[in-house]
């Protein structure tokens, strides 16, 4: 019933899930991305936070850092929500749904980073939050231009050769995803890759990477 | 006329984007930058609204929700970053806030019930928000939450009527209209309780 219009990019579709006129699909490409996101979501669910040890310089003494249960719970929740949003963004067949999932990834990334009560980390989280908010302008703007110029948001229509998506809409989509997926840079800036509760930070990198891979597939196929 | 409206609107939006982003680059105060980013998000919504179809109208609400939740998240980060505390002094007093709430809330709620549906819920909610803001509140939040939960269930049930018993569509419309009214009103009325700082807000 459904056939992906150009299977040379993501491969032929393997499985199609129909919600009314919104049709999610798995191609070999997106299925791999989905499996990757699923793997890391499961890892976040089962993993325990990393407990750091600081060696006191010049002696045998060391400090252990405790992770507060509240902080742990909040961060784990945000990481799992981020994983679910990534799963959604990987399989959705609708451009606007994709932008919504992308901004949800942005919000949860702010949450993961902001869980630390540390001033320079909070500063980085704030700067990232501003960028993520600004990125919704090109993100939704891109989807709106796609809708106004083609009359549809369904990727099944947009991927056909008959429908031409203007270059500016594609550029806006990529720009928006760049803003939402910018979090790893701010993590590097605040040097919290190995901070308390480290495994949850991984979700930021995973979601950002997968989001870029997916938007590339969408933009090339359009 | 309509063909002209879209390109002209796009030009206006482009000008607004340039102005907004220039202001953001020049602004150094963090609080003002939050406000400017919120303005920029409105431009994103305007881009969707310019399309002016039913589908675009349906896209506005999720766009708005995403914008508000990002604004909330960034504001929370800002509060934590600056170490801000709730002010402890007495709340400001305005005489109108003691005399007006009863009648204004009544008029707004009555008009909202008359409108019904989502718009009615929003208007009735404004009345309730105003009342709670001025008069304070001493009721159980669990009750409001429960009512809102039942309203949501009725709303979903109305959708099942549309899907499985389409011949009773009028009954479904009435159910959905009433339930979404109660739902939106109950949720928004919680906003009005925030200023006086109750036990769990």
Note the pLDDT tens digit of each residue in B117-172.
Answer: 777 778 888 888 887 777 766 666 677 778 888 888 988 899 888 888 888 888 88
CB-nearest partner of B71 from A96, A100, A133: A133
CA atoms within 13 A on the CB side of B95: 0
User: Do A78 and A202 contact (CB within 8 A), yes or no?
Assistant: no
Among A164, A207, A152, A160, CA closest to A22? A152
Structure tokens at B169: 């569509």
Question: Is residue A188, in this structure, part of any structural domain at all?
Answer: yes
Q: Tell me A116's DSSP state.
A: S
Residue partners of A127: CB distance under 8 A and separation at least 6:
A186
Q: What is the pLDDT of residue A11?
A: 73
The least confident of A99-103, B80-84, B197-201 is: B197-201
pTM for the whole structure? 0.78
Cβ contact (<8 Å) for B47 and A145?
Answer: yes
Question: Is residue A173, in this structure, part of any structural domain at all?
Answer: yes
Cβ contact (<8 Å) for B66 and A145?
Answer: no
Q: What is the pLDDT of residue A176?
A: 92
Give yes or no for residue A20 having a pLDDT over 80.
no
CB-nearest partner of B44 from A119, A132, A136: A136
Give yes or no for residue A197 having a pLDDT over 60.
no
Cβ contact (<8 Å) for A103 and B74?
Answer: no
**Residue B27 CB coordination number (10 Å):** 14
* Structural domain of A55: 7-221
Question: Is residue A1, in this structure, part of any structural domain at all?
Answer: no
Nearest CA in chain A to B75: A126
pLDDT band at A45 (very low <50, low <70, confident <90, very high): confident
Mean pLDDT of chain A: 84
Q: What is the pLDDT of residue B193?
A: 66
Question: Is residue A2, in this structure, part of any structural domain at all?
Answer: no
Cα-based angle B65, B68, B71 (whole degrees, multiple of 5) = 150
Q: What is the pLDDT of residue B195?
A: 57
Question: Is residue A103, in this structure, part of any structural domain at all?
Answer: yes
Residues A115-122, mean pLDDT to the nearest whole number: 77
Cβ contact (<8 Å) for A148 and B51?
Answer: yes
The strand pair at A53-55 and A62-64 is best described as antiparallel
Nearest CA in chain B to A120: B81
Q: What is the pLDDT of residue B198?
A: 47
Residues A118-126, mean pLDDT to the nearest whole number: 82
Q: How far is A180 from chain B (nearest CA, A)?
A: 11
Cα-based angle B112, B113, B118 (whole degrees, multiple of 5) = 65
Q: How far is B8 from chain A (nearest CA, A)?
A: 14
Q: What is the pLDDT of residue B200?
A: 43
Question: Is residue A183, in this structure, part of any structural domain at all?
Answer: yes
Q: What is the pLDDT of residue A85?
A: 93
The Cα–Cα gap between A114 and B74 comes to: 9
Give yes or no for residue B196 having a pLDDT over 70.
no
Nearest CA in chain B to A104: B66
Question: Is residue A131, in this structure, part of any structural domain at all?
Answer: yes
The Cα–Cα gap between B121 and B111 comes to: 10
Partners of residue B81 in chain A, C-beta under 8 Å: 119, 122-123, 125-126
pLDDT band at A101 (very low <50, low <70, confident <90, very high): very high
Cβ contact (<8 Å) for A129 and B47?
Answer: no
Mean pLDDT of chain B: 81
Give yes or no for residue A119 having a pLDDT over 50.
yes
Q: How far is A218 from chain B (nearest CA, A)?
A: 20
pLDDT tens track for A65-83: 777 778 888 888 989 999 9
Q: How many domains does chain A have?
A: 1
The strand pair at A22-26 and A15-19 is best described as antiparallel
Q: Number of A:B CB contacts under 8 A?
A: 98
Cβ contact (<8 Å) for B78 and A126?
Answer: yes
pLDDT tens track for A148-192: 888 888 888 888 878 888 899 999 999 999 998 888 887 777 666
Cβ contact (<8 Å) for A104 and B63?
Answer: no
SS3 B58: helix
Give yes or no for residue B197 having a pLDDT over 60.
no
Residue partners of A114: CB distance under 8 A and separation at least 6:
A121, A122, A125, A129, B73, B76, B77, B80
In whole angstroms, how far apart are CA A21 and each of A3, A18, B133? 15, 7, 43
Q: DSSP letters along B90-108, please? A: PPP--THHHHSHHHHHHHH
Contacts 24+ apart (CB under 8 A), B63-68: B63/A136, B63/A140, B66/A100, B66/A103, B66/A104, B66/A107, B66/A136, B67/A133, B67/A136, B67/B38, B67/B41, B67/B42
The Cα–Cα gap between A116 and A123 comes to: 11
């Amino acid at each position: 019933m459904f056939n992906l219009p150009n299977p040379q990019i993501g491969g032929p579709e393997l499985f199609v899930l129909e919600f009314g006129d919104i049709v999610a699909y798995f191609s070999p490409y997106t299925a791999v991305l989905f499996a990757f996101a699923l793997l890391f979501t499961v890892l976040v669910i089962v993993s325990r936070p990393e407990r750091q040890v600081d060696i006191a310089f010049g002696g045998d003494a060391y400090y252990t850092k405790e992770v507060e249960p509240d902080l742990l719970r909040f961060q784990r929740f945000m990481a799992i929500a981020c994983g679910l949003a990534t799963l959604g963004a990987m399989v959705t067949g609708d451009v606007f749904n994709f932008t919504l999932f992308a901004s949800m990834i942005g919000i949860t990334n702010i949450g993961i980073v902001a869980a630390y009560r540390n001033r320079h980390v909070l500063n980085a989280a704030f700067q990232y939050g501003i960028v993520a908010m600004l990125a919704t302008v090109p993100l939704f703007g891109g989807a709106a231009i796609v809708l106004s110029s083609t009359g549809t948001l369904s990727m099944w229509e947009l991927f056909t050769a008959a429908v031409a998506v203007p270059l500016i809409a594609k550029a806006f989509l990529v720009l928006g995803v760049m803003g939402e997926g910018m979090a790893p840079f701010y993590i590097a800036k605040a040097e919290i890759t190995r901070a308390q509760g480290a495994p949850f930070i991984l979700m930021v990198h995973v979601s950002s990477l997968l989001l870029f891979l997916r938007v590339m597939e969408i933009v090339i196929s359009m | 006329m309509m063909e002209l409206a879209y390109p002209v609107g796009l030009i206006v939006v482009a000008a607004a984007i340039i102005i907004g982003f220039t202001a953001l680059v020049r602004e150094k105060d963090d609080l003002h930058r939050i406000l400017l980013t919120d303005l920029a998000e409105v431009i994103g919504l305007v881009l969707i609204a310019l399309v002016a179809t039913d589908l675009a109208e349906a896209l506005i609400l999720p766009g708005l929700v995403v914008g508000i939740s990002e604004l909330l998240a960034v504001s929370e980060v800002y509060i934590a970053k600056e170490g801000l505390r709730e002010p402890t002094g007495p709340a400001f007093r305005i005489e109108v806030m003691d005399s007006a709430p009863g009648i204004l809330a009544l008029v707004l709620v009555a008009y909202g019930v008359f409108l019904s549906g989502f718009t009615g819920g929003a208007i009735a909610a404004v009345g309730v928000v105003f009342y709670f803001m001025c008069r304070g509140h001493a009721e159980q939040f669990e009750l409001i939450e429960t009512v809102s939960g039942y309203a949501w269930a009725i709303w979903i049930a109305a959708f099942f009527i549309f899907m499985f018993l389409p011949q009773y569509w009028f009954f479904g419309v009435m159910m959905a209209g009433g339930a979404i009214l109660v739902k939106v009103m109950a949720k928004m009325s919680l906003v009005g309780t925030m200023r006086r700082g109750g036990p769990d807000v």
